[in-house]
Amino acid sequence: MNHPLIPFDAAEHLKTPEDMVAYLDACFEEDSGDGVLVRAALNDIARARGMTQIARDTGLGRESLYKALGSQGNPEFATIIKVMKALGLKLHASTA
């Protein structure tokens, strides 16, 4: 019996702000230091919230935002801060 595989999209499972925070925290913890997981998490969260609205709130073009947060993107730190602010998220530091 052949079962078709359905691609997993994390954005479909990020329903609440608490879900989004937990997901982003986990990605910060597991990121290897290259930012790939964090960038992917911000992409997923932005899509869950609505990329068009996040683009408006950041003052960035929607296509530019998709590109910056996409798998080949390399967003500037200022872009990350703008996206996090638009998502209602704050970046915190703590000791390891």
| 11-60 pLDDT tens trace | 999 999 999 999 999 999 999 999 999 999 999 999 999 999 999 999 99
Write b or e for each residue in 9-29: b if 16 or more Cβ atoms lie within 10 A of its Cβ, otherwise e.
Answer: ebeeebeeeeebbebbeebee
| Predicted pLDDT at 13 | 96
Helix or strand (DSSP H, E) at 75: none
Cα separation, 43 vs 65, whole angstroms: 9
| Predicted pLDDT at 93 | 86
| Predicted pLDDT at 3 | 86
- The pLDDT of 53-75, averaged and rounded, is 95
CB 41 within 8 A of CB 24: yes
Confidence of residue 96 (pLDDT cuts 50, 70, 90): confident
Q: ∠ CA(83), CA(24), CA(59), 5° rounding?
A: 5
- The pLDDT of 8-13, averaged and rounded, is 95
| Predicted pLDDT at 20 | 96
- pTM of the predicted model over 0.75: yes
